[in-house]
């Protein structure tokens, strides 16, 4: 009787330690998770201001403004909705109007997306999967594979 009770306590203790380790792992994973949104999804249900997210779409033609202080401001669209993006860093060499990009950062309280990183496609045939999926849902996808 004593050995079986001791074994039960050992299994219970191991279960508690395993549950605590799993909880800490999920907590760390949640902090590293960055969700992807299209401009339409942000317009329909905006994430909380300050939450780190990625937004992707096409750079709207004629929307790029490059202030003297550096960086750029531009409008990102999925042809259903638009979002204004402010970026303080150096844009990638392949960045241009009409191109698909993904910007990582956070939405500010005034609705402008403050980007900390901008990723541009690396050739004519590549488009980030999330951007292609969002455009496909809007019926605007013009790439191969359809």
Q: What is the pLDDT of residues 41-78, one digit of tens each?
A: 998 998 888 889 999 989 999 999 988 887 899 999 98
Exposure of 63 by Cβ count < 10 A (0-12 exposed, 13-18 middle, 19+ buried)? Answer: middle
| pLDDT at residue 146, rounded to an integer | 46
Answering whether pTM is above 0.85, one says: no
| pLDDT at residue 69, rounded to an integer | 82
Q: Where are the beta strands (DSSP E) in 30-69?
A: 35-37, 52-59
Residue 140: helix, strand or coil by DSSP? coil
82 forms beta bridges with 77
Assigned architecture for domain 35-137: Beta Barrel (2.40)
Q: Where are the alpha helices (DSSP H) in 33-128?
A: 39-44
Residue numbers in the chain where pLDDT is lower than 50: 146
Instruction: Give the side-chain half-sphere CA count within 13 A for 28.
Output: 6
| pLDDT at residue 125, rounded to an integer | 60
């Amino acid at each position: 009787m004593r050995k079986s009770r001791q074994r039960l306590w050992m299994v219970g203790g191991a279960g508690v330690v395993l549950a605590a380790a799993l909880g800490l792992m999920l907590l760390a994973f949640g902090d590293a998770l960055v969700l992807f949104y299209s401009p339409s999804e942000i317009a329909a249900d905006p994430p909380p201001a300050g939450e780190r997210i990625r937004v992707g779409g096409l750079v709207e033609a004629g929307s790029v403004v490059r202030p003297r202080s550096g960086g750029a401001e531009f409008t990102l669209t999925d042809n259903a909705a638009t979002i204004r993006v402010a970026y303080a860093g150096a844009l990638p060499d392949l960045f241009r109007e009409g191109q698909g990009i993904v910007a990582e950062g956070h939405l500010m309280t005034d609705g402008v997306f403050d980007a900390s990183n901008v990723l541009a496609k690396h050739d004519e045939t590549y488009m980030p999967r999330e951007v292609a999926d969002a455009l496909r849902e809007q019926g605007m996808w013009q790439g191969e594979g359809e």
